């Protein structure tokens, strides 16, 4: 048995005959979206083989199985980060468990810094593409042929059809939803002023420390991906106060209601 089946087998024992259609990963300060799930079964990551230990405030480390507007979903409260020293196996396992359980769609949420004054703290941005400056690729090593090809394409990595559905819903719900390119760094340090200037010249609108490995794994195994960024701060050098995780959590909580509203209607 593949190590990527161990967690899903445990989940199936706890909630038999449950086949989720969509997987959701919640970023820093956005965990309250899980409160919208009905008929929920909650499993701590600590009970699941090869799942991460979440030590970052705002990532509770729990898996929720249940329904949002009658759509079966699996929701991950917390993710694995390179800066925590997470192994590729653990990062892959989070996404591949969703695939094995039956998901065909992955919705990512994350907290981000903004490089664009049109998207200030407290706003939401739909990710259209990414630039990988995490100096690693999660798929390096032997290819897992059971999940996907050796050389997966990242064309339409952030599914255009899903993106348009979210943008249409946001307009209907009177929620401001921008669009932008995500620039991924490894962390845990925030960026320097010079780095942010360089990232803007390269075409970045957002900067963060997650998302990209998850997108690569999801596309490798055929999941459609949508990603919504909660803007929690202006990037280094673009605001007067020093960056802090407390600010991230504050604005993450502030925009959590809008993200929950979007997800409820999308599903």
Residues with a catalytic annotation lie at 28, 59, 81, 83-84, 111, 209-210, 233, 245
- 243 CB-side CA count, 13 A: 22
Packing angle, helices 212-220 and 88-101, rounded to 10? 50
- Strand extents, DSSP E, the chain: 22-26, 38-44, 62-68, 71-77, 105-114, 124-133, 177-185, 206-208, 224-234
Answer for the pair 77, 26: CB distance below 8 angstroms, yes or no: yes
DSSP assignment of 184-195 = EE--SSPPPHHH
Q: What angle do CA 56, 97, 230 make, to 5 degrees?
A: 40
Distance CA 259, CA 252 (A): 10
Please list, in sequence order, all residues whose beta carbon lies within 8 angstroms of the beta carbon of residue 69, skipping any fewer than 6 positions away.
Answer: 264, 265, 267
Residue (of 132, 126, 112, 264) closest to 185 by Cα position? 132
């Amino acid at each position: 048995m593949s190590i990527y089946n161990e967690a899903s087998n445990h989940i199936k024992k706890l909630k038999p005959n449950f086949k989720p259609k969509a997987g959701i990963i919640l970023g820093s300060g956005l965990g309250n979206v899980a409160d919208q799930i009905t008929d929920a079964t909650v499993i701590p990551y600590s009970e699941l083989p090869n799942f991460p230990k979440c030590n970052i405030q705002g990532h509770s480390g729990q898996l929720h199985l249940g329904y949002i507007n009658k759509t079966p979903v699996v929701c991950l409260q917390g993710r694995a980060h390179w800066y925590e020293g997470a192994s590729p196996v653990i990062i892959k396992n989070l996404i591949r468990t969703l695939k094995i359980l039956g998901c065909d769609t992955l919705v990512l949420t994350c907290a981000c810094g903004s490089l664009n004054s049109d998207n200030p703290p407290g706003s939401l941005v739909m990710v259209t593409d990414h630039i990988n400056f995490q100096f690693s690729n999660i798929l390096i090593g032997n290819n897992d042929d059971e999940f996907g090809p050796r050389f997966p394409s990242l064309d339409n990595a952030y599914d255009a059809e899903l993106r348009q559905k979210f943008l249409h819903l946001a307009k209907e719900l009177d929620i401001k939803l921008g669009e932008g390119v995500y620039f991924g760094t490894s962390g845990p340090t925030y960026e320097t002023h010079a780095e942010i200037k360089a990232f803007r010249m390269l075409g970045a609108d957002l900067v963060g420390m997650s998302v990209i490995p998850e997108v690569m794994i999801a596309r490798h195994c055929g999941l459609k991906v949508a990603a919504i960024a909660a803007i929690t701060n202006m990037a280094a050098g673009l605001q007067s106060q020093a960056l802090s995780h407390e600010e991230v959590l504050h604005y993450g909580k502030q925009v959590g209601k809008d993200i929950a509203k979007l997800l409820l209607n999308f599903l």
